[in-house]
Structure 1
Amino acid sequence: MKIHVAIVSEQILPNFIPALMERPDWVCLVASPQMSERGLDRRLARLLRQDEIAVEIRKGAPESGLADIHSFAYALAEELEARYPGAEIVLNATGGTKLMALGFVEAFRDLGVRIIYTDTAHRRIECLSDGKDSIPAAKPMDEVLDVPRYLAAQGFRVSVVQSDSPEWQERAAGRKAVCKYLGQHAAQIGDLIGALNALADKALVGGETLVAPHQAFARVPWGNWATALGQLVKAHLLKWQDGSADVEFVDAESATFLHGGWLEELAWHTLQDNGAYDARLGVNGNWETGINSKNEFDVLATQGNQLLFVECKTLRHLEENDNDLAYKVDSLGQDARGLFGATWLVTAREPSLVLRERARQARICHFGPAELPKLREHVRAWLTGAR
C-alpha cells in the first residue's frame, strides 16, 4: 500500500501533481485551521477523489510553534505506522509554512520514509530522502494536468470549451490557412483588420447573431487590402467583388472570426501544431468564490504542468482604457495560473505606449503585429521551458 502525506497550502498543484503521477492508494491531507477555513483542503480532496484516489483530511495542524508542530507530526507518523504496517509512506514536504515543512520532515524522517519536494518552476520532483544514505536524482514531472484539471486546482470550474466541439474543429481547420495569412501580414494590413473588425461589429448583435450581413468600406479596397480580401473570399468567409466597397458576411461564425476570432484561432493552431500537451480555445466557466465569478479565456495551454494564458486583441484601444486592459489580463492570468506559467498579450494592431509599459511592468509578454510571423518560435520556446 502506498500512502501520501501532504501539507495543504494555498498552492494546490505541488500536492496534486505528485499524487497524479504516483497514484497512491490513500492520501492524508494535513490542514491548518487557516487552510480549512478557506476550503483549500476540501478542494484538493475533491480533485483527488475525482481521480479515484482515497483521501482523509487531518484538520487542526499548527502553523507555528515548532514544539506543537513536532507533537502533531510525530503523533500522525506513529498512527500511520501502526494503522498501516509495511505501507510505503511518502511525505510531500512542499506545502504548509516553512516551519511546518521542517517539523514534518524531522518527524517523518525517523520512519525512513521517502520525502519529496515539488519543484514546479523547474518541472521536476526532488527527493529529499528515501530512507537511505544517498539522495536519488530528481525525477522529471509526468504530464498530468490538462487545462480543465489545472483550472480546477486554481478554483475555476470549466463549463464550456468552444474548441472541444468536433464540428468547430472541422470548421477551424478550414480557416487555418487564412489565420496564418492574416498573422503573416498583420503588420502590413493593420488598417484593414481594424476596418473588418468595425464592419463585423455592425453586422452582429451581441457578438453572436448576424443581423446586417451587408456592409461597406469607406473606400474601395485596393493593393494589400484587395489581396487580403481575395484570400477571405477564397476561404468563403465573406463575399466581395474587386473594385467594390461592398462586402457581405456569409454567416455569424465567419463574422465573429473576422471580428477578431482569427487571432485566437491562430494562437490555438500554433500551440496545437507545435505539440502542446493540451490547448483549448474559448474556455468558459465560473470561479468557486467571488461576486463576478464568470470568466472566459481566449486561449489556454498546459505543458510541463504549467499554464499559458493567451489574451488576444485585434482592436486598437484608447490609452485611457489600456490601464484597465492590462490590469484585467494580469489579474486573470495570475488567478488562472498561480505562481508559475506565463501570461501573453497578443495584438493584431500596434498597442499604445501605455499598454506596452503596463504589460512590461506586469511581466506580461506582449507580441504585436510585427511579432506574429514569429509566434511559432515564441511558442516553441515556452513549450521547452526556454522562455
Structure 2
Amino acid sequence: MMKHIHISLLGAQSYPVYLGIVDQHPDEVILVHSVTTHDEAIRIKQELGKQSMQLPVQLIEFEPVDLPRIFNQLTKNFSNQSAENLYSVNISGGTKLWSIAFYEHFSKYPQVRLLYIDQNNHICNLKTLEQYRSDVPLDTDIVFRLNGTKAESYTLLSEYTEKDTYCVKKIKELCSHSYDGFKSFSMPDVLKWKEIENKKEGCWVSDCGALLWDKPSKKIVIRLLNKKKVEKEEVLESPHVFSLFFYAGWFEYEVAKMLSEWKYAKEVRMNVKFPYNVEKNPKNEIDVIVNTGNRLLFVECKTQITSITDIDKFRTAVKNYGGMACKALFVTEAGMKNTAREKCEDSGILSFSLQSSFANLSVAEQMYLKLEHELFEINKK
C-alpha cells in the first residue's frame, strides 16, 4: 500500500513547517532539526497531536553547517526511497546548506515533490513550478503555540457593545473639555492604578475635579474642571468602561474597530496578554491583533510616541509571539514625529497617524491602502 511520507527542514520559524504538513495530508512525518531547533520540533509534534492528526512523527537531528556531514547524514537516513511511496520534502526552513543538499539529493527521485513555502502561504512545487496558496485556515492560537507562547487573556472586538461605543464618544468629549484634567485621571501612576485594581469602588479628588469608580456596576463618574473653571460631569457606564477609560483604551478600541471593517480582517483581538519574560519579551501585551486569514497583523496604539524604546519593545514582541511572517503596525492619534517614523521604517514596522490627510480618502481608506500595499510583501529577516 502506497504511503505519503512528508519530510520537512526545520529552522527558527515553525509555522511554514506545520502548514506544509497540514496542507499535504501525509501518512508519516519526518522533521529534520538541529540541536538548537529541537524544542520547535517538539512543539510541532505536539500541535499535530492536538489537531487530531495522529501521524507517526520522527525527529532526526542534523549537523547544520558541515556540508560533508550533512551529505553523510542524508545518505544514512534517506538513501532508500521506495518507488511505491510518495514523498514530499519541504525545504523552506533550516540552513541554506540543508536546502541545497536536500534538493540535490531528492530531485533525482520521480516520486518526490520538492516544496517551498513563503510568508504568504504560497506553496511552490520546485520540480513542476506549480504554485498555489494553501487553503489551511490561519489559527491565531496555533501560531502562538508554535512560537512557544500562548495568549493568557484577550477580548474579541465582537464582545464590545453599543454602550461601549457611546462610552468612547463621552470619553473623547471629556478629553476635549479638559485634556490635562482628563489625563490626570485616565493615566494614573502605579500606586493609584494598584488602588483601582484592588478596590471594587473608590474615589479620587484633585484640583482638576473628581473621579468615582464602581466595578460591580461597571460605572465611572467623573467631574472635570477646565482652565476656565467650567465644570463637566459624565456618568460612564458600559461592559468595558474600565479598559476604555484608562491608559487610552478608547483609542485602541477606535483603531480596532476601524481595522475590523477592513476586507482582510477575519478576527480582531484586543488587549492580548502573554506570559511576562523581561529578558525575551520586554512587552507582554499587544493592543490589537488582526487575523487576516493569511498572516497576523500586530498593532500598537498610542496617542503619541514619547519614547523610541517603545518601538524596539514592540518589534521584539511581534517576532517572539508571532514569528517572522507577521506584519506590524504602529498607529498614533497625533502626527508622528520624523524620528519615530524613521525608526519604525528601519525596524520593519508600518506607521500610521490618524492625522493623515489625503484628498478624497477617509482616514480608514488611507490606512487600508497602506496595509494592502504591504500585506503580501515578504518581511526582511
**Structure 1 match to 2:257:** 269
Alpha-carbon offset, residue 287 of structure 1: 7.0
Structure 1 59/202 Cα, relative in aligned 2: closer, same or farther at 3 Å? Answer: closer
CA distance in 2, matches of 1:126, 1:63: 24
**Structure 2 match to 1:334:** 319
Structure 1 194/299 Cα, relative in aligned 2: closer, same or farther at 3 Å? Answer: farther
Q: Secondary structure at the match of 2:142?
A: helix
CA distance in 2, matches of 1:255, 1:24: 49
Long gaps (5+) in structure 1: 130-134, 220-235
**Structure 2 match to 1:74:** 75
CA distance in 1, matches of 2:370, 2:345: 19
Counterpart AA for 1:337: G
**Structure 2 match to 1:223:** none
Alpha-carbon offset, residue 270 of structure 1: 2.6
CA distance in 2, matches of 1:52, 1:352: 50
| Structure-to-structure mapping, 1:28-39, within 5 angstroms | 28-36=30-38, 39=39
Alpha-carbon offset, residue 283 of structure 1: 1.5
**Structure 2 match to 1:100:** 98
Q: Name the TM-score, length of structure 2 as normaliser.
A: 0.76
Q: Secondary structure at the match of 2:130?
A: coil
Question: Which of 335, 349, 355 is matched with 1:364 structurally?
Answer: 349
CA distance in 2, matches of 1:238, 1:200: 12
**Structure 2 match to 1:312:** 301
Structure 1 8/363 Cα, relative in aligned 2: closer, same or farther at 3 Å? Answer: closer
Structure 1 192/43 Cα, relative in aligned 2: closer, same or farther at 3 Å? Answer: farther
Structure in which a larger fraction of residues adopt helix: 1
Q: Name the TM-score, length of structure 1 as normaliser.
A: 0.75
Alpha-carbon offset, residue 6 of structure 1: 0.3
**Structure 1 match to 2:215:** none
Higher RCO (CA 8 Å, separation ≥ 6 residues): 1
Q: Comparing 194-203 with 43-52, which one deviates more in the overlay?
A: 194-203
Counterpart AA for 2:268: A
Cα contact 1:239–1:250 (8 A) shared by 2: no
CA distance in 2, matches of 1:292, 1:331: 7
Kindly indicate whether residue 198 of structure 2 is the aligned counterpart of residue 199 of structure 1: no
CA distance in 2, matches of 1:182, 1:94: 51
CA distance in 2, matches of 1:352, 1:210: 39
Kindly indicate whether residue 39 of structure 2 is the aligned counterpart of residue 52 of structure 1: no
CA distance in 1, matches of 2:344, 2:180: 22
Alpha-carbon offset, residue 244 of structure 1: 2.8
Q: Secondary structure at the match of 1:157?
A: coil
CA distance in 2, matches of 1:356, 1:190: 26
Counterpart AA for 2:193: V
Structure 1 76/327 Cα, relative in aligned 2: closer, same or farther at 3 Å? Answer: same
> Percent of aligned pairs with the same residue?
19
Q: Secondary structure at the match of 1:24?
A: coil
CA distance in 1, matches of 2:77, 2:160: 56
Long gaps (5+) in structure 2: 210-218
CA distance in 1, matches of 2:242, 2:145: 32
CA RMSD between the two structures: 3.7
Counterpart AA for 2:243: T
Structure 1 106/205 Cα, relative in aligned 2: closer, same or farther at 3 Å? Answer: same
Counterpart AA for 1:245: K
